[in-house]
């Protein structure tokens, strides 16, 4: 992947529906070159799909948060298994440093958010948590 591919991906992240002609103009390369690069990025598995972004108020689960989780001993696999089964955990990441896992949480209300926090904190093997509610998003 070179600088042109990176710039192409950046433009597609901003608006994946940008016409190829417009992408070519912004990149200052031929339309066919853009099409070929996009096809190669897809074939190589760099681009795995295109998606729709909705206004936050159009989505359910409007309360979003990241929960940092410290796991006791060697119970991480079991904690991950339990968290994967929770419908309010939309993503789960392993990490290094002070925390073992980062869970992305989504709920509809603060009351349901409180219940989700209590459920996760009571999972056997969860030693400590710290949660930050996401207030706004500036770049996707």
| Angle (nearest 5°) at CA 106 between 122 and 136 | 125
Give the model's pLDDT for residue 111: 95
Give the model's pLDDT for residue 137: 79
Report residue 72's pLDDT band, with 50, 70 and 90 as the boundaries: very high
- DSSP 8-class letter at 85: T
How far is the C-alpha of 91 from the C-alpha of 66, rounded, in Å? Answer: 9
Quick check: pTM over 0.85?
Answer: no
Report residue 56's pLDDT band, with 50, 70 and 90 as the boundaries: low
Report residue 13's pLDDT band, with 50, 70 and 90 as the boundaries: confident
The percent of residues above 70 in pLDDT, for the chain, comes to 93
Given a cut of 60, is residue 49 above it in pLDDT?
Answer: yes
Give the model's pLDDT for residue 104: 95
Q: Average pLDDT of the chain?
A: 91
Q: Rounded mean pLDDT of 13-22?
A: 91
How far is the C-alpha of 78 from the C-alpha of 29, rounded, in Å? Answer: 51
* Pure H helices in 15-124: 20-27, 31-43, 76-84, 110-121
List, for residues 81-126, the tens digit of each pLDDT value: 999 999 999 999 999 999 999 999 999 899 999 999 999 999 999 9
User: Using CB atoms within 10 A of its CB, is residue 123 exposed (0-12), middle (13-18) or buried (19+)?
Assistant: middle
User: Using CB atoms within 10 A of its CB, is residue 22 exposed (0-12), middle (13-18) or buried (19+)?
Assistant: middle
18 SS3 class: coil
Distance of CA 124 to the CA centre of its chain: 26
Domains assigned to the chain = 3-43 (1.10.10), 56-133 (3.30.70.920)
The percent of residues above 90 in pLDDT, for the chain, comes to 81
């Amino acid at each position: 992947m070179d600088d042109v591919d990176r710039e192409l991906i950046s433009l597609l992240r901003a608006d994946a529906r940008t016409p190829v002609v417009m992408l070519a103009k912004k990149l200052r390369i031929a339309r066919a070159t853009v099409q070929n690069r996009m096809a190669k990025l897809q074939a190589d598995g760099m681009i795995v799909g295109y998606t729709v972004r909705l206004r936050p108020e159009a989505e359910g689960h409007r309360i979003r948060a990241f929960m940092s989780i410290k796991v006791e001993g060697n119970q991480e696999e079991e904690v991950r298994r339990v968290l994967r089964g929770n419908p309010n955990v939309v993503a789960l990441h392993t990490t290094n440093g002070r925390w073992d896992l980062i869970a992305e949480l989504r709920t509809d209300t603060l009351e349901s958010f409180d219940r989700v926090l209590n459920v996760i904190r009571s999972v056997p093997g969860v030693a400590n948590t710290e949660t930050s509610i996401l207030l706004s998003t500036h770049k996707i």
